[in-house]
Amino acid sequence: MRQTCSVCIFGAGPAGAATAARLNDLGVDCLVLDRPSAKKNWGGESFTGSIREPLKALGMWEDFCAAGHVAGYEQRTTWGAPSSTKDSIFNRYGHFWHVDRHRFDDGLRRAIQARGIPILSYQSLDELRRRSERWCVRLDHDGEVSARYLVDATGRACAVARRLGARPRLYDRLIAFTAVVPRNSEFNHAMIIESMPQGWWYAAPVPQGHVLAFFTDADLATQLPRSMKTAAANSAFTPVRNGQSWIPVGDACAAHDPLCGWGVFRAMTNGVRAADAIATYLKNADEAPLENYFELCREQFTRYLEGLSKHYSYEQRWPNAPFWRRRSETWRP
């Protein structure tokens, strides 16, 4: 079966869905290729109130509010200084949202399918090459997609970027050990963050219970229960030059430490920006918006590393512990 489109998007997560929805709204035909992963994401995640912005811009906000995610009004933190509590009433973006990621991602897929955007599942990417002015994508031995432009929204795997010779720069080896446990009513609307010598803990209520996560470096993780799931949580950036007719978005472009709390927000907002740049390029052959997108991503990631380094520096109780000693060094883009 042969499919033809202007833009082929690899990945149906937040970045891919936002890019597809925005392109569709701009009148650019696209399709999404989604490779189901045997390793599911870790179930629960917290978004700041700023998630409202991209969801409203894409017409997805009302469905998100009706999906049963948990409002978070309190953040309790033990990190470097005595324990502290912050109330969402003082946050300009309002309260947190503690979400079931499976439910959230499914909602995004439904939203783009409702726009008439095809989502095609595949198992193997057999060929990816440029022919004249179009990309030839061969899938599962007999499927083929022809597109003018490609988007890599495959997350930290960077499947398209790696296939095309780009190499993400990894800044650490942070991983998450996670589990969902029965809800503790004492913390119905509270997120907990607590540091310890080997890393840090996170806990938050989600629709299906309470999600617990311990973050540490991969080489330091030796004694945690095998019943907990693991997920990559490292910081990474994929340097890409303009003029190659493909673009990375979301974690495939810039992956963030969950401590910052806005990885999904940035994935979706930059997905919208990428779509705007692609649409302009396809219509006018104007590459300036694409170059602006790449430069913005580089600048954002530089500021992110500076902020992350500063936040980790607040914890000074275990300067000789490997986890904290590594983060006492300044990350450079």
- Structure confidence by residue, pLDDT tens digits, 11-46: 999 999 999 999 999 999 999 999 987 556 667 899
Q: Residue 137's CB: how many other CB atoms inside 10 A?
A: 22
Residue type, 184: N
Q: What is the pTM of this model?
A: 0.94
305: part of which helix (H) or strand (E)? helix 288-313
- Structure confidence by residue, pLDDT tens digits, 238-278: 998 877 899 999 999 999 999 998 899 999 999 999 999 99
d(CA 319, CA 331): 17
pLDDT classification of 150: cutoffs 50, 70, 90:
very high
CB 238 within 8 A of CB 254: yes
Q: 297 to each of 133, 233, 274, how far by Cα in Å? A: 26, 19, 10
- Structure confidence by residue, pLDDT tens digits, 121-149: 999 999 999 988 899 999 998 899 999 99
Q: What is the DSSP string of 118-138?
A: -EEE-S-EEEEEEETTEEEEE
CB 331 within 8 A of CB 305: yes
What pLDDT score does 333 carry? Answer: 63
Domains along the sequence of the chain with CATH: 2-36+43-327 (3.50.50.60)
Taking only Cα atoms into account, the Rg of the chain, rounded to an integer number of angstroms, comes to 20
d(CA 203, CA 146): 44
Which of 75, 94, 93 minimizes the C-alpha distance to 85? 75
Mean predicted confidence (pLDDT) in 165-180: 94
What pLDDT score does 252 carry? Answer: 97
Max CA pair span of the chain: 62
What pLDDT score does 244 carry? Answer: 86
The phi and psi torsions of 299 (rounded to 5 degrees) equal -65, -40
d(CA 86, CA 76): 7
Which of 258, 213, 257 minimizes the C-alpha distance to 235? 257
80 backbone φψ class: left, alpha, beta (φ>0; ψ -120 to 50): left
d(CA 100, CA 46): 9
What pLDDT score does 1 carry? Answer: 73
| Count, residues in the chain | 333
196: part of which helix (H) or strand (E)? strand 190-196
d(CA 40, CA 44): 11
Look over the chain and give the mean of its residue pLDDT values, rounded to a whole number.
92
Give the pairing of strands 190-196 and 199-206. Answer: antiparallel
CA atoms within 13 A on the CB side of 279: 18
